[in-house]
Chains A and B, each alone.
Chain A
């Protein structure tokens, strides 16, 4: 079945460092891909999405490109801030629609 694999955390970075969180997927057909973020004590929030190959999703300085050839959707940010500390989830939505399949999450901690 469909699945999502993320790099394990926690990831600890200094403020203004470059961030990459790897995400790869397995799916039949052409899924839509998402990154969600979960701040402490809050629900998940959509960070960005891409619905077809070579699409780039972006929001709040974060970017991810839908790479069909490598079945990947890596999250990047050029300069992280302390306020970016959270758990990041990669997810896909397949042909069944509406059902999100999540990776296990990657905890990011940014130190001043």
Chain B
């Protein structure tokens, strides 16, 4: 049983470019959340998708957008990249969006913005 898979594992972009990160949830999971983890910091919540809709959003600008597909996979898009967007982007899935649900995390996509 594959866990949460993310692609690509590493990515290098330049300022002003756009990037798309992808996530496939664990089998049987229908809820996907995205987190940004800066070096030496804890993950910061970006948003959560359930039933193909954005259900919750953290304090991130509109440059960060997402999508969930009918097969529950998800994409994170970041437009007009800034140097400060360099971070590890983590995807997490769960069986439902409730607060006590166990999250399963992928290994992340390391984004470097030059």
Show the binding face of A for B, using Cβ within 8 Å: 4, 31-32, 36, 41-46, 49, 51, 89, 91, 93-105
User: With A and B bound together, what is the CA distance between A102 and B105 in angstroms?
Assistant: 14
Show the binding face of B for A, using Cβ within 8 Å: 3-4, 31, 33, 35, 40-45, 48, 55-56, 58, 90, 92, 94, 97-108
- Within 8 Å CB of A44, what residues of B? 43, 90, 92, 103, 105
User: With A and B bound together, what is the CA distance between A31 and B100 in angstroms?
Assistant: 9
Partner pick for B99 among A41, A89, A98, A103, CB 8 A cutoff: A98
Chain B interface main SS type: loop
CB–CB A43/B106 < 8 A: yes
- Whether A46 touches B90, Cβ cut-off 8 Å, given contacts A89-B42, A99-B58, A100-B45, is no
CB–CB B105/A97 < 8 A: no
CB–CB B99/A105 < 8 A: no
With A45-B105, A99-B56 already in contact, 19 other A-B pairs whose C-beta atoms are closer than 8 Å: A43-B3, A43-B4, A43-B104, A43-B105, A43-B107, A44-B43, A89-B43, A93-B99, A93-B100, A94-B99, A98-B48, A98-B99, A99-B33, A99-B48, A99-B58, A100-B35, A102-B43, A103-B42, A104-B42
Q: How far is the CB of A3 from chain B (nearest CB, A)?
A: 11
Q: How far is the CB of A106 from chain B (nearest CB, A)?
A: 10
Name the residue on B nearest A106 (C-beta): B42
CB–CB B108/A43 < 8 A: yes
CB–CB A98/B101 < 8 A: yes
- What are 5 A-to-B residue pairs whose CB atoms are below 8 Å? A4-B42, A98-B33, A102-B42, A102-B44, A104-B42
